[in-house]
Chain A
Amino acid sequence: MQASEERWLIVAFLLPTVAFMLLLLWYPFLQGVWMSLHRWPFMGDPEWRGLGNYTAFVNAEYFWVALQSTLIYSLSTVFQLAIALVAALVLKQRFIRWRTLWRGVMLVAYAMPPVVVGAFWLFLLDPGLGMVTHYLIGWGILEEPIYWFSDGSWAKWIITFVATWTFWPFMFLILLSALQAIPDSHYELAEVYGANLWQRFRHVTLPHLWSALLVVIILRLAFNLAKIDQPFQLTGGGPGYETSILSVLVYRFAFMSGDFGMAFTVGIFLVVFTLVLILPFAWLFQRQFRPGH
């Protein structure tokens, strides 16, 4: 039996968080689910369709194209992780001079709003006047400019690249913090036992890093899949549907065709898709660390 004082504290403390969650997240979300079951034109009367929107979406010609580009775009999480891990391991070393300065430098891409970084890469990759094309042709790697943002086979990789360049410092930030917390004595001990570089990474670094690794993978997968501003800014979802990752597709339906029913259908599908990608990592995370125990 809890003291009544404690019960009051629980209720009072939970109230803002729970009220917020219901009003700002779950209410609009469930409203969206409801809308996805209708034909719901902008400025028009909704009409019940049941699961009609969903079958229409799955059978649409752009369905597989959009799904493929979404998968490629979510690969960005892997690239971000690779860069962030290297950066964190390097900038943890004590013998590196001016470490603090370099750590700040690593952060500049993430410190700028993503649309700003997007605009900048639009400039750098411009086929006519951009730096990248200029050098690639100058060095004889390319014969003629590539239209990165409108060439179907390049565009989805380019938006993935820009996302990687923009967002990897978030992972770096958290991984470096986790690395810094590993006591030196652990490494010294490992050295006494004659562990080599790989063994020290495998048996000292990795176990300490595990929790942080899972956190950044889960967070970035979720954030990347919800990204809309930057990929939309770079390609507008085109050419055709080549770079219409699911979140961009939501935007296209909602704000360009005014078809809220379809927009929310794609949105709900995206939620399920994200959930499927994240679940294995969430399961690993829960297994190794149970809060409150």
Chain B
Amino acid sequence: MSDRATGFQRVLAYAGLIALLAMVLVPYSYIVVTAFKTPGEIFEVTWIPEELSVDAWREVFAINEFHRYLWNSLLAGVGCAVLSLLISVPGAYVFARKNFRGREVLFYLIVGTLIFPFILLIVPITITWIQVGLYNSIVGLLIAFQIFAVPFSVWILRGYFARMPRHLEECAMVYGCTQFQAFYKVMLPLAKPVIVSVAFLSFLLGWNDFLFSNMLTTGDGPRTASVAIYVATAGGERIEWEVMMVMTLITGIPPVILYMIAQKHLSRTFST
């Protein structure tokens, strides 16, 4: 269809593209412009700053030490992805490819928790974290992230494992693999697309999280970029919008780059 697209189809598609780009880019460009404005010009609606200023960029790193928060966000994102894979992959594999009593019930007990509002769990979690010494630590944060990362990872992983050819493990075992080797040497490499996809989506959950990072960390702890930005806006009388916009821009870049890398795997994962 693509090669022989009619003129009408092309016009329609480009019109749609322009509308979408406007919807995303008009506000976004305004962030970029604002990031280079002087504090005095912030409150005038202009698209070309009279005076280009990089003061905001300097302030973000020199005074706000934003790289510290970015590093924490990176740890939070990567850690969330790794931990959620460690917890969900073995479970999802068994849920998809082994038969045992209570399988469906257990599976729905996990996936059903997708509808728990996280806010409901945050009070008991915070109290427990303080008691066991996980409060204000990156490990505690990563474990808490699993509350929303695991149920949805298990769901996506199980769907993919279930769609893989039926007798793969038996074949591997005919060739002398143990049960575990069949999983580790045959199934895991074949599941690379879904593993990369789940890692990417879990990374986003950790990177973008505000609720848990805000509740479970303090200023001198592993505070992430999203909390740092929020604090910068919610704090004083005068919000330094130009500084905020710089932080916003920087925080938005890593996920986009990761998406470019993960794109191919995502499309293999979400095909029926």
Tell me, in angstroms, the Cα distance from A3 to B98 when the chains sit together: 12
Tell me, in angstroms, the Cα distance from A233 to B27 when the chains sit together: 19
Interface residues as binary, A154-174 with B (CB distance below 8 Å gives 1, 0 otherwise): 000000000001000000011
Q: Which residues on the B side are within 8 Å of A12 (C-beta)?
A: 90
Whether the Cβ atoms of A181 and B244 lie closer than 8 Å is no
Interchain nearest-CB distance for B186 vs A (Å): 14
Q: Which single member of A25, A90, A111, A228 contacts B255 (CB below 8 Å)?
A: A111
Overall SS of chain A's interface? helix
Given contacts A94-B3, A113-B251, contact A271 B229 (CB under 8 A): no
Tell me, in angstroms, the Cα distance from A130 to B266 when the chains sit together: 37
Number of interface residues of A (CB under 8 A): 108
Q: Which residues on the A side are within 8 Å of B28 (C-beta)?
A: 108-109
Whether the Cβ atoms of A10 and B106 lie closer than 8 Å is no
Whether the Cβ atoms of B1 and A32 lie closer than 8 Å is no
Whether the Cβ atoms of A29 and B116 lie closer than 8 Å is yes
Q: Which residues on the B side are within 8 Å of A263 (C-beta)?
A: 120, 123
Number of interface residues of B (CB under 8 A): 105
Interchain nearest-CB distance for B216 vs A (Å): 13
Interface residues as binary, A249-269 with B (CB distance below 8 Å gives 1, 0 otherwise): 011001000001001100110
Interface residues as binary, A96-124 with B (CB distance below 8 Å gives 1, 0 otherwise): 10001011111111111111100111111
Whether the Cβ atoms of A95 and B2 lie closer than 8 Å is yes
Interchain nearest-CB distance for B234 vs A (Å): 8
Whether the Cβ atoms of B210 and A113 lie closer than 8 Å is yes
B52 interfacial contact with A, CB 8 Å: no
Of A106, A110, A119, A271, which is in contact with the most chain B CB atoms at under 10 Å from its CB? A119
B57 interfacial contact with A, CB 8 Å: no
Interchain nearest-CB distance for A263 vs B (Å): 7
Given contacts A12-B90, A25-B121, A115-B210, contact A176 B147 (CB under 8 A): no
Interface residues as binary, B209-224 with A (CB distance below 8 Å gives 1, 0 otherwise): 1110010000000000
Interchain nearest-CB distance for B11 vs A (Å): 11
Overall SS of chain B's interface? helix
Whether the Cβ atoms of B20 and A13 lie closer than 8 Å is no
A16 interfacial contact with B, CB 8 Å: yes
B66 interfacial contact with A, CB 8 Å: no
Question: Which residues 127-169 of A have a CB within 8 angstroms of B?
Answer: 129-131, 134-135, 165
Interchain nearest-CB distance for A202 vs B (Å): 14
Known: A111-B256, A116-B252, A177-B268. 19 other contacts (CB 8 A): A9-B94, A16-B86, A25-B116, A26-B109, A29-B116, A87-B16, A95-B13, A100-B260, A102-B21, A104-B256, A109-B24, A111-B255, A112-B252, A113-B225, A120-B31, A120-B248, A178-B272, A263-B120, A268-B120
Query: Which residues of chain A have a CB within 8 Å of any CB of chain B?
Result: 2-3, 5-6, 8-10, 12-14, 16-18, 20-21, 24-29, 31-32, 83, 86-87, 89-91, 93-96, 100, 102-116, 119-124, 129-131, 134-135, 165, 173-174, 176-178, 180-182, 184, 187-188, 190-191, 197, 200, 208, 210-212, 215, 218-219, 222, 225-226, 228-229, 233, 246-247, 250-251, 254, 260, 263-264, 267-268, 270-271, 274-275, 278, 289, 291-293
Top 7 A-B residue pairs of the complex, sorted by shortest distance between their CB atoms: A181-B271, A17-B91, A94-B2, A113-B226, A13-B90, A111-B255, A291-B162
Between A and B, 17 residue pairs with Cβ closer than 8 Å are A5-B179, A17-B110, A21-B109, A25-B121, A29-B120, A86-B16, A90-B17, A102-B21, A110-B255, A112-B251, A116-B251, A177-B269, A184-B2, A228-B118, A228-B119, A250-B117, A263-B120
